[in-house]
Every structure is written in structure tokens, then in C-alpha cells.
Amino acid sequence: SQQGEEDPQALSIQEGENATMNCSYKTSINNLQWYRQNSGRGLVHLILIRSNEREKHSGRLRVTLDTSKKSSSLLITASRAADTASYFCATDQISSGSARQLTFGSGTQLTVLP
Amino acid sequence: NAGVTQTPKFRVLKTGQSMTLLCAQDMNHEYMYWYRQDPGMGLRLIHYSVGEGTTAKGEVPDGYNVSRLKKQNFLLGLESAAPSQTSVYFCASSFVGSGGQFFGPGTRLTVL
């Protein structure tokens, strides 16, 4: 079963615009992570936000976490064509113990048009 | 520093055949994972290992076996391949404790 569900499933924007993707999850977490996957490639870790954090920045990325609503958002500012990829949220659930298993959502396909 | 590598990159099997996928990492990570990714879906955990000599089942372990004889290697075996195992397989590794996972480039497996 999918712990995280991204919204929207697909997003198409113009270069320079901001892109916002949302993730909802069901059970208590240690942290939530965002990954990027370019077509035909492996996943690349973008950013991790812990359950006691509300917002985190990394370059053009901003992640927020609302544990009361069990949701997170990923904002990519000033998007570029190179940002075209699938973006996945992944939750490290408290129930996984020390194994640090991640449960992935089904992803948002972002297309940035030049 | 190659990171996480996977062998082979592509493979076509006939139903009932067996094969082993090899994952290697050179980052001295304790934790290693095998996932499968099907079209339009996120990754699902097959098996994982929290250290040399240890393995555990993930969300979808049926039809797969794993071994972690050396810290740097994590092998995924299919004893009798089925068409339902057609997928892209990803290996990942991570440090002990919280943190992101490092992924390999994937193995695209087709079972006819």
C-alpha cells in the first residue's frame, strides 16, 4: 500500500514559473524525503525534513511539513527545463524502527516547457 | 567513487528461468535495499538488509530471495521468473540512522 500520495499526478509549467507538488501520508513518521527521477534513471535524494521541522530550504527547493494534516509540499522556484522529471515523496515511518524503510508515493511528473 | 552500481542493466528471461541481480556500493553503507518500480507507480520495497549477513522482507518479497555475504554487495535472486516480475529493479543504500538513500541506475527486467 502507498503511504505517500502526490498531487497532482502531472504538472506542466513554463520555464521561470514556480512548481508546487503536494504529498499526503497516513501514519506517523520520523522524516519525509523528496526524490527526483529523470526518465530512465535512478532516484536522486533532494531533501529530508524531520517530523519536528516545519520548513526547510535547499537552493531553489522549499519543503514544508504539516504533521497535524499529514502533508508536505515541495516548491521549486524559478523552474528550468532541466527540472523536468518525476518527483516522489517518501516517508520514513516510525513503525519501521531502525530499519529506515521508506514508503514511496506514486510521484508527480513535472514538465517544464522552455 | 562509483556510488551504487547494478548489474546487469537489461535482461530478458523466459518464464521459469532464474537469475541474480547484483548491487554493489563503495560508500561503506550499512543499509541496502531492493525495490521494484512498475509503470505509473512509486517504488515498492522487496527486501532489505541492515548489515552484512542480515536480510529482511519488505512489502513485496514473494518470488525473490536475497543475500548479503559482503557488506558492499546485495544480491537479488529470482528462482523461477514469472511475467508479473517484469519491472525495473532499483538497489539503494544508506548510512545507519536517518538520511537519504543513494540509488543505482536500475535493471530493466522483462519476463516473457
Tell whether B48 lies on the interface with A, counting CB pairs under 8 A.
yes
Residue A97: Cβ-neighbour burial (10 angstroms; 0-12, 13-18, 19+): exposed
Q: Are A44 and A37 in contact (CB under 8 A)?
A: yes
More confident residue, A93 or A12: A12
Q: Is the Cβ–Cβ distance between A8 and A31 less than 8 Å?
A: no
Residue A45 and residue B101: Cβ atoms within 8 Å?
yes
Q: What is the pLDDT of residues A50-90, one digit of tens each?
A: 999 999 999 999 999 999 999 999 999 999 999 999 999 99
Please give the share of chain B, as a percent, with pLDDT higher than 70. 98
Q: What percentage of chain A carries pLDDT values higher than 70?
A: 92
Nearest to B48 by CA among B28, B66, B24: B66
Q: Longest C-alpha distance within chain B, in Å?
A: 40
Interface contact A51, partner B, CB < 8 A: no
Residues B31, A99: C-beta atoms closer than 8 Å: yes
- Is the Cα torsion angle B79, B74, A108, A69 positive or negative in sign? positive
Select from B6, B98, B108 the residue whose CB has the most chain A CBs within 10 Å, as the one to mutate to test that interface: B98
Chain-centroid distance of CA B44 in Å reads 11
pLDDT band at B42 (very low <50, low <70, confident <90, very high): confident
Question: Rounded distance, CA B39 to CA A112, Å?
Answer: 21
Please give the grid coordinates belonging to residue A15. Answer: 520555464
